[in-house]
Amino acid sequence: MKPIGFSKERCKKIMEEQNLDLLIASTPENVFYTSGLPTTVNAPNPILYVLKNQYPYFVLINKEAEEFLIHWDLYRSAKIFTWVSDCKGILSPSDSLRAISKQLKKWEIKQGRIGLESLLPRYAADYMYSKFPEVVFVDGDSAFIEMRLIKTEEEVKRIKQSTQIAEKAIKACINASKEGITDTRLLQIARETMVQADPEVWGWDHLTMNIGRSDPEAPGQGIKMKKGDLSRFDFGAVYKGYVSDVSRQMALGEIPSGVGEAMDRMIKMQEFALNNMRAGIIANELNVKSADYYKTLKEDGMHFVTAHSIGLQTEEIHLFGPVENQNRPFEENMVLDVEVWEHVPEWGLVGVEDCYRITKTGIERLSTLDKEIFVV
């Protein structure tokens, strides 16, 4: 078994830059990333995720990028999925803590700097603080993000397939749209389409959807579609652990007044950002340029443009946007979701989002759907 995205060389470099003697992965995504163990909620059988309160999992990584995996002892198939040769099965949280302590003594880590995830269970953090009083514990989140930002060819392949599956579900919902159909039925169509699209699909990451003025974050209330409605399908599939994020809008009948013009502006906004996005460009600087460009399209309006890294999570880190801005360059083989939205009175957000890969010379589009509003 070879690593999917994890690189010992990149890990060593990042740990050296951040002056870390040890990293401890504890969240489902980072344990999966550093070991291959299917710990995520969307795994084919998410039993490791479901039982993590009783049988926690951890990956310890020393500064030579040597790994030590702790997992549920009764999960006999661990060796099938993981490339980590040094593993320890446990049967309780206290077992896992003893295993951590024993491994640190084996690696002779009595002091130095250990990076912990901010979502590490409190019982584990308290144990580490009391057991190793001479160790300096620091935030390890940034180290894992730095590792995951640059994707391998296998990771890109999985994200691309996930994107295609999400697009199939969007098209299926658009094709099924008609007066009287409910958001509950459309959710069912989306789920069925994703599961049937590929034998190795792990399901769905998110199914954001609205009909008319309904809340897109809370579909499934039995709301019926009617003529004149503007609907949004914002889906993410999960393919072998990796997610996607694609959004399209559809009008049943005519496109409402003002909506088509807003979408035209958002498509131009997205294309502007993409045409200026390449390795070496500073993310925050592109954010400023995008805001200035919007003013050439519309003097005043509520809008935003976001570029966020995507991979094991829908939003790994925001490179730029209204939530967060990074004063760092784009790098080759980053995979980003670029989304643009404008607020239209009475209709809410109008826009589009797609997945892209940063290349040496520019970008590679992973999405394929037309960007304009679909009319049924």
Residue for token pair 């909506």: 259
- Kindly indicate the confidence band of residue 180, based on its pLDDT and cuts at 50, 70 and 90: very high
pLDDT of 155: 98
Across the range 7-35, mean pLDDT stands at 98
Given a contact cutoff of 8 angstroms between Cβ atoms, the answer to whether 110 and 103 are in contact is: no
Locate CATH 3.40.350.10 in the chain. Answer: 8-149
* DSSP element (H, E) containing 99: helix 93-106
Given a contact cutoff of 8 angstroms between Cβ atoms, the answer to whether 334 and 358 are in contact is: yes
pLDDT of 255: 96
Reply yes or no on whether the pLDDT at 150 is more than 90: yes
As given in the structure block, the two tokens for residue 147 are 């590792």
Reply yes or no on whether the pLDDT at 158 is more than 90: yes
pLDDT of 266: 97
- Kindly indicate the confidence band of residue 129, based on its pLDDT and cuts at 50, 70 and 90: very high
pLDDT of 299: 85
- Residue percentage of the chain with pLDDT more than 90: 96
Across the range 19-43, mean pLDDT stands at 98
Given a contact cutoff of 8 angstroms between Cβ atoms, the answer to whether 68 and 88 are in contact is: yes
Q: Mean pLDDT, the chain, as a whole number?
A: 96
pLDDT of 300: 85
Residues 153-375: name the CATH superfamily. Answer: Creatinase/methionine aminopeptidase superfamily (3.90.230.10)
As given in the structure block, the two tokens for residue 188 are 């069912």
58 closest CA partner among 70, 40, 41: 70
Alpha helices of 18-81 — where are they, by DSSP H? 28-35, 47-50, 78-81
- Kindly indicate the confidence band of residue 361, based on its pLDDT and cuts at 50, 70 and 90: confident
Pairing of strands 201-211, 230-239: antiparallel
At the top level of CATH, the class of 8-149 is alpha beta
Across the range 338-362, mean pLDDT stands at 94
As given in the structure block, the two tokens for residue 351 are 């826009």
Pairing of strands 242-243, 201-211: unpaired
Locate CATH 3.90.230.10 in the chain. Answer: 153-375
pLDDT digits (tens, 9 = 90+) for 260-276: 999 999 999 999 999 99
Q: What is the pTM of this model?
A: 0.96
pLDDT of 6: 98
